């Protein structure tokens, strides 16, 4: 019996150990690969978003205070990526409707210029901060004095 307890031969023991080592190694490699893969893909998305944001640029060229409750903004995409205008802020008020019936977001192509007519009651001589915000978080902004 004592002899049989020692009966797992050296060969078997070696094979078992090698198999165990290979299995653990494979598991480790897959785990590490998955971990790195997750990290690199997240980093890829993060940097792609940053890049896109950097390549996007918008400018608020001109503001016309027209009838007493109407402001027209002339916006130009001066970046190298198409962009989406999601919100226009006039004096802190978020506006998503323009040209009477249309609703933001509005997609602007590279180099495109577009007039947005928004409804807002303004007063002569008052200063109005105006911001045009994009989906990537960029802004075209400025302050205008109503004539």
Partner 1 sequence: MKLVRRKRGVSGIISGIFLVAVTVMIFGAMVSQYSLFENYNSAVQRAEQRAWERYNERLVIVGVTANSSYLNFTVTNCGSVTAHIVDVFLRFVNGTNKLYTIDVWIAPGSSKQIVAYNIRLGLNDKYDFQIATERGNLISPTPVNQAGSQYYYYYNGGYYYYNNPGGTTPGGYQPMPFIFGFGYNDFQYSTASASGPWSPAWIMPKGSRPWFRVLLNNTYSKDIVLQGTHTRLVFYQDDQWQPRQAVTLVNTPISAKSGVYVYFDRIPNQFPNTANQHLYAMIEAFYYFTDNPSQVMGTTVTILAVYLT
Residues that bind partner 1 (CB under 8 A): 10-11, 14, 17-18, 21-22, 25, 28-29, 32-33, 36, 39-40, 43-44, 47, 50-51, 54-55, 57, 59, 61-62, 64, 66, 72, 74, 76, 78-80, 111, 113, 115, 147
Report, in Å, the least distance between residue 52 CB and partner 1. Answer: 8
Using the minimum distance from each CB to partner 1, give the nearer residue, 39 or 109.
39
Using the minimum distance from each CB to partner 1, give the nearer residue, 38 or 93.
38
Q: What distance in Å separates the CA atoms of residue 126 and residue 147, rounded to the nearest whole number?
A: 8
Please name the residue ranges forming H helices in 8-94. 10-55
* Contact between 54 and 135 (Cβ < 8 Å): no
Report, in Å, the least distance between residue 1 CB and partner 1. Answer: 25
DSSP state of 37: H
Using the minimum distance from each CB to partner 1, give the nearer residue, 40 or 91.
40
Other Cβ atoms less than 10 A from the Cβ of 77: the count is 23
* Contact between 130 and 88 (Cβ < 8 Å): yes
Report, in Å, the least distance between residue 113 CB and partner 1. Answer: 7
Using the minimum distance from each CB to partner 1, give the nearer residue, 30 or 102.
30
Q: What distance in Å separates the CA atoms of residue 60 and residue 30, rounded to the nearest whole number?
A: 51
């Amino acid at each position: 019996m004592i002899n049989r307890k020692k009966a797992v031969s050296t060969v078997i023991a070696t094979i078992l150990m090698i198999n165990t080592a290979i299995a653990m190694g494979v598991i480790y490699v897959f785990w590490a690969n998955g971990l790195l893969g997750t990290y690199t893909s997240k980093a890829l998305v993060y940097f792609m978003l940053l890049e896109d944001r950097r390549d996007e640029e918008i400018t608020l060229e001109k503001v016309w205070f027209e009838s007493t409750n109407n402001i027209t903004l002339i916006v130009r995409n001066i970046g190298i990526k198409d962009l989406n205008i999601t919100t226009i802020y006039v004096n802190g008020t978020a506006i998503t409707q323009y040209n009477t019936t249309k609703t933001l977001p509005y997609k602007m192509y590279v180099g495109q210029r577009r007039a947005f007519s928004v409804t807002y009651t303004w007063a002569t001589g008052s200063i109005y901060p105006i911001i045009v915000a994009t989906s990537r978080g960029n802004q075209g902004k400025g302050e205008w004095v109503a004539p």
